Each structure stands twice: as C-alpha cells, then as structure tokens.
Structure 1
Amino acid sequence: MKTITFYVMALLCLIATKLNAQTFERRAKDISTSIADISKEEKDSLKIEVEAVNMLLEKDEITKEEADKRKLELAEKRANNIEARVAVEKEKLDKLVQDRVDGNIEESSSTFSINYNKGKNSDCKNDTIHSIDFRRTTSQFLFALGVNRMMVDGKMDNDNFKWRSDFYEWGIVFNSRLLKNNNLLHAKYGLSLQYNNLRPDDDKIFVTNGDKTVLADSGLNIDVARLRYVNLVIPVHLEFDFTKKKVGDVHTYYPIYDSFKIGIGGYVGVNVKEKQILKYEDANGHQVKDRLRGEYNVSDTTYGLSAYVGYGQVSLYAKYDLQPIFANNDVDQNNLSLGIRFDIN
C-alpha cells in the first residue's frame, strides 16, 4: 500500500510541476509542424491560382505567353512566402537551441526527483527524496555535408552532372536508450532540413516542359548552374552504440558517443522550396547571376533510406531517396548522398 501511495504521490507531483512547462522536445515538434503546414498551405494556394490562370487561357481571355508569365510570378510569390515564413520558424528554432545550450529551458531528463512524507501535510517539498526513472533521452545538434550523385536505373549519371553536386543537412535529433540496463540499442529520431544541390555539366540547365523537368543546352557560357531543392524531413534510425556503461559507487551511468556506433534507418518528409541559380557572362562581358524560383516539378514528398557508421560524434553518412527527384519524368531519377555526419551533444 505504501508503494502504491508513493507512486500516486509521484504522479501528482509530476503533474503539478510539469503541467505548465514546455519541454524542448514539445516546442521543437510544434515548430516542425508549423513549417510543414506553411509548405502545404502555400503549395495548395499556388495550385488554386495556377488553375485559375489555366481557365483564363482555355477561355482565350489571355495568351499562352501571358499565362506562363503569370504562373511564374505566382510561383515566385509563393516561394518567397515559404522562404519568409520558414525563416521566422527557423529563428524560433535557433532561439530554442540557444536556450537549450544556455540552460534556460527544461531538458529531457532520465530521472525525476520528488520528496515524500507520510504525514497529513505531505507535499512535494518535504522530507525524504526519491528518484524515479521516467526517461532515457538526450538531444543533439545534427550537421552533415557531402556530395550528391543522380542515379538512373541503378547507375550514376556521370554524363550530365558534376561531382561538385553537393548537400548539407542540419537539425535537432533525440537519442533514446531502448533497454533499461544495456547501452547497445538506441532509437534516434528528430527533425532536419536537407539542402540538395544538382549541378549540370556542359553548360546545361534545368527547364520545364509541361509537367516534366529536363536538361537543355543553355546557349551560354555557364560558370555555375545548380538546382537547389530543400526537404524538411523526419529521420529515424536504430542506433547501435558500443560505448560501455560505467558503474559508480552509487549509480550506473550510460554515456553515449564514446566508442563505435552504427545507425540504420530512413526518413520521410516534404519539399519546402526549390530554385535554380545561374552564373554566366553575357554578350557584353558582364557577369550575371540569376535566381530562378518556381515550379521545377520536384516531388512534393520524399522518403528514403539512410545509414551511418562512426566513432564518437563523427560518422560516415549515406542517404538514398527512394522517391524520384522529379514527380512526372518518364525516367525515375533518384538522389544518392555520401558524406560526413556530426551528432553534437
């Protein structure tokens, strides 16, 4: 009976002390949901606006050239909206991470300490201190970078793309130890932004042909050409951490990232923006830089497989998009990324 009473008191104290607290994990999840909603709202609005333009074109109220111009303007407007609104959420996430580093926000904790007194006036501040193991979760800052290779029919497309195609990724991840008395198995999950750059070779650029996206000769002396598309993803991995537990005089500790580790899993997410960046010299010898925002038919959603192997906080990292890069092309083109990953405590 005393045991039951103790745990009831523990739960009441937990509710009393945590009811109005916003944990790091909850606030990060709220920000991720907000970013996903922003992307969906703007893309849905763009589809409605494009349909309205198509109806005007069908009724011969505008020319095809004017319709294309309006669609491009609408796409640029929605892309700018996404970029501006996501920037606000990114500032919130940056502030959240800084608050976490500065210790101004409640952290994930493996234990919750309470006081317990058998008397009538017992509350959470009196007498005997007890600790209850509620959670085994820590958080890390994720940063990764490396090269991208476009895969077609299981082979790298070395004819059209440079090795300078690259990616980088950053976000927040959480590490939960799965076994109570063993440090081997961990669940790794979180939220990250993947910036993927594809750089065509031989003065080629990406152009849209209806609902398809193809490479075409630009007719220019291109210095830089890259298509950048950004995905907001939820990565999930099963992590094997070979760090040994440490047995102290009173407690047993389960440190992480002090030995070899292996992570196997995947990710799922949404595309939040895309644009093509061109740098070239015009006929007058002037350097020109164009940022072409718009619809390049990049898939609205993405999912794939990923894995890493490393020591401590540094790993070799690979990810492969099972969802084709472009939604409607006749031939599936998938992105393979190889690089280095940092999980920073």
Structure 2
Amino acid sequence: MKTIKLVLIAFLVLPLGFWAQENPILKKQIRNYTQKIDSIVSAEKKLMNAELDEVEKRFSDNQISETEKQNLNKEIAQKYEKSINEKVNVEKSLLEDITQTAVNDAVFGAPKNKEKYFRSSRNAILELGYDMKEIKDPEDPKNYLSSFGYVFNISLLNHTSEKAFFDFGNHRQLKTGMSGGMTIRYEGQLGKYTSPVFYRLGLGWRVDEMEVRNSKVFAQDEHRLFITDFQHGELKYASLRTDYIMLPAEVIFVLNPKYKSYQGREYIDNTKKQFRIGLGLYGGVKINDWIFTEYKNNLGNEIRSFESVSPGLYNSVFGGKISFGYSWFNIYVTRDFTPIFNENADVRNKYATQIGVDIIALTF
C-alpha cells in the first residue's frame, strides 16, 4: 500500500516538474514537498530498521523462535507502513494545492493582476517596485510582514502660536504653505506573527516653503529676521525655504486584522485592506535655508535672488505625528513641539502644523 501511494504521488509530481521548469516558485514548492516526503520515509525507515535489528538480536540469542521472529517482523512492518501513510496524508493537502495552482495557471494563464500580493501596509497612492515574482513564495504571509523602501509625501503647512493647533485667521502673517519630504523607511512587526502592531523607523528629508501674506516679504539685517513691504519693484514671488534631515519613528495599529494559516502557523495577513492608526515622533536638524525673491525692477529687468538666512531660525525641530490609513490611502497630521522661528524673528506664529498624504511608495 505504501508503495502504491508513493507511485501515485510520483505520477502527480513528475508532470508538475515539467511545468515547474518554467515557474521557479512552483519548482520550489514541489521541491519542498518531495523533501518532506523523503524525510518522513527516511525517518520512519530508520526507526523500523532499529526494531527489526532488535528482533534479529533476540532471535540470535535464542530468545524467540523462527515463527515468532517472522510474526514480529510482520507486525513492525505493518506498524510503520501505517505510520508513513498517516504522515503522508497530512501533507497530501499541500500537494493538492500545488496541483490545482499549476493546472489553473496552465489552462488559464498566470494571473496578470498581482495587486493581491502587495503589502497593504504601505498606504501610498502610487505603489512601485514590488512584484510577486521577486518573492520566493508569494503565498507565505511572512514575506509581507516587513518592508524597506522610499516613501514620498506632500502636505499643507500652517503656522500657529504655541497654544493653537491650526490658524487660518485673517490676522496671520504667513500663508498656508507647502511641505514635501522623502523617507527611507523600514517597517517591521512587533510581537508574534499574529500581532496587529507594527513599527516604522526612517531617515528622511523635509522641505518647508513659507510665504508672507499681503505682498510682503521676509527680510533680515545682522540681528533680526522680519517681515516688511517689498520696495524694489514689482514682486512676482517670494518665500523662505528650510531643509531638514529627519529621523522619524512610528508605531502602527491595525484595527481590522485578518489572518491566514500557512503550513500550520497563523499569521496576520498584510495583503488585505487594513484600517491603520499610527502614532509617532520625529526629530530633525536643519541643513539649509534661504530667502528667495523674484521680482521686476524699475528698469524692467527680472531679478531672482537667493539669500541665506543668518538670524531668526532654530537649527533643529522636534514633533509628533498621528496618521490614519486605509488600504492605499494614508493621511497624517504632524505638529512641531519646538518653534521654527527663534527669538530673533519678528514672526508671531512660530510653530508648524502639517496635514499631508503619502503619494508614492517605492519598495525594494
């Protein structure tokens, strides 16, 4: 009976082997399956031979008769045949899954839409650089529990007082500006494979661009940064830009976790659409700043000037972040706990709040 089952398995595995030559993922699955079967047979055969040797020793020592020896050998062979059959049957469902996948792909073609294999956790509008062919086993949930890559974001920038979170009043000096950034980010799971908690660590770059309202501009002298009327011609555009190197850290909570069993182990399924809430902190060091002014002078010449900022800005920033995401969409709010402008700046609203989205995720 054992031989018949192994022959039937061979008839199933051999045709799959030809298909697997063109499909490295399937080839690996078949190899893993055959290795398991070989391991089961080898282990059981080793145990059986040990018992048969013991029977032979007892017969040589005249402890049992020839008839008893034959009966014991038969019982041992039947016991291990049953054990092998039971263990092979446990693995049979895996072979059936492999066979069904191979037949479906052969008849209908491999699925063109591989979106189901994408990590839902990236939460970006445009996701690039991730193909299931690059994963040795795309059905293994463990392959989707961590990621590394670039994330690009864009946000609205609002400056407030220390106690206010947002300020859109007419009394404010600065317009609602723009901020953008890029982060090299690693995401991993906290706890067991079923844990709905993840963490993100990164190294990023943040660019803030600030404009003054009512056709005014930033200006400076040796001691102060201030806001004033423009008096050198026709103003076209003026802004103050700051660049920071950022170190963000974030904890992510999956609110609707779904799970998947794979090879006897339970995993959270990170390919399913998820509601996520993130809480994080960040710190940054300013690496660049300038005042840009574009205008037409009294002679009609267009002038563009760049001026490095001497007084008025702090060299570092520290703040917090909260994010809300579903599937590919992620919106976040950040708040700087430390002011952008220092005591040498005549600017009323010195703290920055941002509302933004992650627009591109590029995963390696």
| TM-score scaled by length of structure 2 | 0.54
Q: Provide, for residues 213-262 of structure 1, a one-character-per-residue CA deviation record: whole Å limited to 9, x for no partner.
A: 22122224322111110111111111012342222355544443631111
Deviations 1:263-312 (A, max 9, x none): 11110120010011111121122322212224243211110011110112
Pair 1:139 & 2:141 matched: no
Q: Aligned equivalents of 1:255 and 1:196: distance in 2?
A: 37
d(CA) in 1 for partners of 2:335 and 2:316? 14
Residue identity matched to 1:148: L
Q: Pick closer, same or farther for the CA change 1:307–1:102 going to 2, 3 Å.
A: closer
Do the aligned partners of 1:274 and 1:296 also contact (CA within 8 Å) in 2? no
Partner of 2:159: 150
Counterpart CA distance in 1 for 2:336 and 2:251 is 18
Q: Secondary structure at the match of 2:270?
A: coil
Structure scoring higher RCO (CA < 8 A, sep ≥ 6) equals: 2
Distance 1:166 1:174, change over 3 A: same
- Compute the displacement of 1:154 (Å): 3.2
The answer for the alignment partner of 1:49 in structure 2 is none
Q: Is the 8 A contact 2:194 2:266 kept in 1?
A: no
After superposition, the Cα gap between the structure-2 partners of 1:102 and 1:343, relative to the gap in structure 1 and judged at 3 Å, is: closer
Task: Say if 2:179 and 2:208, in contact at 8 Å, map to a contact too.
Answer: yes
Matched, 1:262 2:271: no
> Which residue pairs with 1:326 in the alignment?
341
Counterpart residue number, 2:258: 244
Q: Which has the higher strand share?
A: 1
Contact 1:203 1:221 in 2 (8 A): no
Q: Could you say if the C-alpha distance between residues 102 and 261 of structure 1 is closer, same or farther in structure 2, counting changes exceeding 3 Å?
A: closer
1:152–1:182 Cα change, 3 Å: same
- Structure 1 position 185 matched with structure 2 position 197: yes
Within 1, Cα distance between the matches of 2:260 and 2:224? 57
Residues 169-208 of structure 1: CA deviation (Å, up to 9, x unaligned): 1111111110213231111111111100111122222223
CA distance in 1, matches of 2:209, 2:281: 20
Q: Which residue of 2 aligns with 1:200?
A: 212
Structure 1 residues 277 and 250: alpha-carbon distance in aligned structure 2, compared to 1, 3 A threshold: same
Decide whether aligned partners of structure 1 residues 153 and 171 sit closer, same or farther in structure 2, where only a CA change above 3 A counts.
Answer: closer
TM-score by length of 1: 0.57
- In the alignment, which residue of structure 1 is the partner of 2:316? 301
1:230 aligns with 2:239: no
**CA distance in structure 1 between the partners assigned to 2:320 and 2:299 by the alignment:** 47
More helix by share: 2
- The 3-state SS of whatever aligns with 1:179 is coil
Give the root-mean-square deviation of aligned CA atoms: 3.3
Unaligned 5+ runs, structure 1: 1-99, 110-132
Q: Which amino acid aligns with 2:234?
A: N
- Provide closer, same or farther for how the CA distance between residues 102 and 320 of structure 1 changes in structure 2, counting only shifts above 3 A: closer
SS at match of 1:215: strand
Q: Does 1:315 align with 2:311?
A: no
The 2-side partners of 1:227 and 1:287 are apart by 19
Residues 210/255 of structure 1: CA separation in 2 closer, same or farther (3 Å cut): farther
Aligned residue in 2 for 1:212: 224
* Structure 1 residue identity aligned to 2:195: N
> Tell me, which stretches of 5 or more residues in structure 2 are unaligned?
1-127, 137-141
| Aligned: 1:291 with 2:300 | no
Paired with 2:203 and 2:270, the residues of 1 have a C-alpha distance of 20
Counterpart of 2:28 in structure 1 is none
Report SS of the residue matched to 2:184.
strand
Residue 332 of structure 1 and its aligned partner are, at CA, apart by: 6.4
Counterpart residue type for residue 175 of structure 1: E
Question: 1:276 corresponds to which residue?
Answer: 291
Q: Secondary structure at the match of 1:162?
A: coil
Structure of higher CA gyration radius: 2
Contact 2:173/2:212 (<8 A) preserved: yes
| 1:16-31 matches, cutoff 5 A | none
Q: Does the 8 A contact of 2:284 with 2:317 survive in 1?
A: yes
Q: Is the 8 A contact 1:212 1:326 kept in 2?
A: no
Residue equivalent to 1:337: 354
Q: Taking structure 1 as reference, are residues 247 and 342 closer, same or farther at Cα in structure 2, changes over 3 Å only?
A: farther
Q: Distance in 2 between matches of 1:343 and 1:172?
A: 12
Q: 1:301 to 1:234 in 2, by over 3 A?
A: same
Decide whether the 8 Å contact of 1:206 with 1:215 is kept in 2: yes
Matched pairs, number = 221
Matched, 1:170 2:182: yes
